[in-house]
Chain A
């Protein structure tokens, strides 16, 4: 399993447009991917799950991937978070 922490820098938090880009880009991976925030864990492949957390700017979230293509999945997540301006780390 690989795991990484991100601080959300988009001033609007994770809202519909970047959340769609993120969820849409990882649906093809076979690994289980989760996002944890504030003691809650959701499936990162679920747009409703991610949006339901109402993640605001400045929050820290943990993303974990577990499966055969976990490394590739994390690399993709890194790339999308940066490209969409969701997080700059």
Chain B
């Protein structure tokens, strides 16, 4: 009989194949007295040596078949095997209590496992799995129990397991293993990450898979939604086969677009960029083929700590991002703190209306030393790539002039001190306050670019707090009022030969893209995972045709009318 259940979607894709249960061997440990502890230590050392030899082989194989990065995890396992704080106490217990090696290993490693599992950090919790993996390997040698070897699978299957250790996962042969389901684990567990690298679907945290699925049963795994179907009927299989074909075709289309420029159907180029928060997000930017970074939110450098980041710390982060982008445009937004984003170590008085208060550039101009430190770090990093500096929350031309003057002063000081600074840094502003959108023609004479921040522009234009659910109906990206402001900004930029981008949620929205393309937006910055989808969409749209609809769209009365109109033309 068909049964369906769900878990955590850990890696996308759809697979249909027979189930293969990867059983966990019974490694039962009993406490036993030993007559000769020194013999027991010899036996323990032998098990450590065998486990190390095995790990060296797995590490080598992983480096060759997957990547050096994945192989490093086994380097860490090898270090655990030689850890004096683990091995030392085990041997001490064998000697002092005359107990068997298995029991000493179990008890001592339990202490570390409990310690890591109790940490309030997902990453550290996962490290408990590494210790368990090493312990399992050692125990199998001590007890002489053979662990089921996943590398022997030689037909197409979906692997079902209670949990997959990192060493199980790397031994799965992607040629035969079409996907896997585990009862425990989360999206950040090692096996989930590896499934995404190998691009096979995976559902983790399924809880009852091992209790339900028998060997050889047909299983459908939908890694997009986290759905598992056991013993599906013919109609369901056909339905999922179609979905799989569509998914694979879409993936192939996106993969082809990864290293391509973004071109509309009539051959017009626009730039698709990604938004990032830390240098760690770089991998995703490159993986999804973004043509640049349209918004680097620097406030994460300042958050989750007790003191301001030093100039050197900031320089490290900025230069890492610029180097990683290899000359592609990188827009860095200066500190945007205040409002809903607070720093514990910056004791600012409580405000009645924080979103309308002392935040972002206003705060930076009020605390020039804070701002100048960031500007110096940015200027010093500028020689490593294509840096563009953007000031947030600009409401008046004077604010921009003040910020720019500080930047020029810091630049002159650095050059005087013989520190190199790029001479082609563009300086622009984020347009998120209606006054600035209205005055865009005046700003355009002084700034090098605009980037429209839609989340705040909508909140300030509609006078609706975006955190207040009772007025959430006023969050209307397609309200003609917003679209008219966007048009004013883009037209003003082009009038002065400057460029206009957008870095809010709206830039990656399916309905917004045709409108923005027609309005002439030059740069769309979105979350990295939306880039390929947007590129595929733009490749099917004619910019000229979209532009021909612009005046009709802007003359509509409501957000709903705009949405309906766009659905009709694209």
Q: How many A residues face the partner with a CB closer than 8 A? A: 26
Chain B residues within 8 Å of A51, by CB:
116, 124, 127
B5 at the interface (CB under 8 A from A): no
Of B85, B278, B305, B312, the most chain A CB neighbours within 10 A belong to: B85
Provide a sorted-by-A list of 23 A–B residue pairs whose CB atoms are within 8 angstroms.
Answer: A9-B316, A11-B279, A11-B317, A16-B72, A16-B130, A19-B76, A20-B76, A23-B79, A24-B75, A27-B82, A42-B85, A43-B84, A46-B83, A46-B86, A47-B79, A48-B86, A49-B85, A54-B124, A56-B305, A57-B305, A58-B306, A85-B316, A88-B312
Q: How far is the CA of A89 from the CA of B307 in the complex (A)?
A: 17
Q: How far is the CA of A60 from the CA of B14 in the complex (A)?
A: 47
Chain B residues within 8 Å of A57, by CB:
304-305
Nearest-neighbour CB distance to chain A for B450, whole angstroms, equals 30
Residues in B268-295 with C-beta less than 8 Å from chain A: 278-280
Q: Write the B404-440 contact mask toward A (1 if CB under 8 angstroms, else 0).
A: 0000000000000000000000000000000000000
In chain B, what residue has the closest Cβ to A9?
B313
Chain A residues within 8 Å of B305, by CB:
56-58
B474 at the interface (CB under 8 A from A): no
Residues in A41-70 with C-beta less than 8 Å from chain B: 42-43, 45-49, 51-52, 54, 56-58
Chain A residues within 8 Å of B301, by CB:
11
Of A11, A45, A49, A52, the most chain B CB neighbours within 10 A belong to: A11
Q: How many B residues face the partner with a CB closer than 8 A? A: 34
**CB-based contact A46/B85 at 8 Å:** yes
A15 at the interface (CB under 8 A from B): yes
**CB-based contact A58/B307 at 8 Å:** yes
A1 at the interface (CB under 8 A from B): no
Contact of A52 among B79, B84, B116 (CB under 8 A): B116
**CB-based contact A88/B316 at 8 Å:** yes
In chain B, what residue has the closest Cβ to A27?
B82
Nearest-neighbour CB distance to chain B for A64, whole angstroms, equals 17
Q: How far is the CA of A42 from the CA of B312 in the complex (A)?
A: 28
Nearest-neighbour CB distance to chain B for A52, whole angstroms, equals 6
**CB-based contact A46/B72 at 8 Å:** no
On whether A54 and B119 interact (CB within 8 A), knowing A46-B83, A48-B80, A48-B131, the answer reads yes
Chain B residues within 8 Å of A49, by CB:
83, 85
Chain A residues within 8 Å of B460, by CB:
none
B41 at the interface (CB under 8 A from A): no
Q: How far is the CA of A35 from the CA of B316 in the complex (A)?
A: 24
Nearest-neighbour CB distance to chain A for B110, whole angstroms, equals 13
A12 at the interface (CB under 8 A from B): yes
Q: Which residues of B contact A (CB under 8 A)?
A: 72-73, 75-76, 79-80, 82-86, 112, 115-116, 119, 121, 123-124, 127, 130-131, 278-280, 301, 304-307, 309, 312-313, 316-317
Nearest-neighbour CB distance to chain B for A13, whole angstroms, equals 9
**CB-based contact B280/A47 at 8 Å:** no
**CB-based contact B79/A20 at 8 Å:** yes
On whether A48 and B112 interact (CB within 8 A), knowing A12-B280, A20-B76, A56-B304, the answer reads yes
**CB-based contact A54/B80 at 8 Å:** no
**CB-based contact B76/A16 at 8 Å:** yes
Nearest-neighbour CB distance to chain A for B77, whole angstroms, equals 9
Q: How far is the CA of A9 from the CA of B278 in the complex (A)?
A: 13
Nearest-neighbour CB distance to chain A for B89, whole angstroms, equals 11
Q: How far is the CA of A45 from the CA of B82 in the complex (A)?
A: 9
Known contacts A58-B305, A88-B312, then 6 further A-B pairs from the complex at CB < 8 Å, ordered by chain A residue: A24-B75, A47-B79, A48-B131, A51-B116, A54-B121, A58-B307
In chain B, what residue has the closest Cβ to A15?
B123
Chain A residues within 8 Å of B304, by CB:
56-57
In chain A, what residue has the closest Cβ to B306?
A58
Q: How far is the CA of A57 from the CA of B317 in the complex (A)?
A: 12
On whether A16 and B279 interact (CB within 8 A), knowing A24-B79, A45-B84, the answer reads no
Nearest-neighbour CB distance to chain B for A23, whole angstroms, equals 6
In chain B, what residue has the closest Cβ to A17?
B72
Chain B residues within 8 Å of A54, by CB:
119, 121, 124
Contact of B75 among A11, A20, A52, A56 (CB under 8 A): A20
Nearest-neighbour CB distance to chain A for B468, whole angstroms, equals 33
In chain B, what residue has the closest Cβ to A52?
B115
On whether A43 and B127 interact (CB within 8 A), knowing A12-B280, A58-B306, the answer reads no
Q: How far is the CA of A59 from the CA of B301 in the complex (A)?
A: 14
Q: How far is the CA of A32 from the CA of B71 in the complex (A)?
A: 29
**CB-based contact B127/A16 at 8 Å:** yes
Chain B residues within 8 Å of A58, by CB:
305-307, 309, 313
Chain A residues within 8 Å of B309, by CB:
58
In chain A, what residue has the closest Cβ to B131?
A48
Q: How far is the CA of A23 from the CA of B77 in the complex (A)?
A: 12
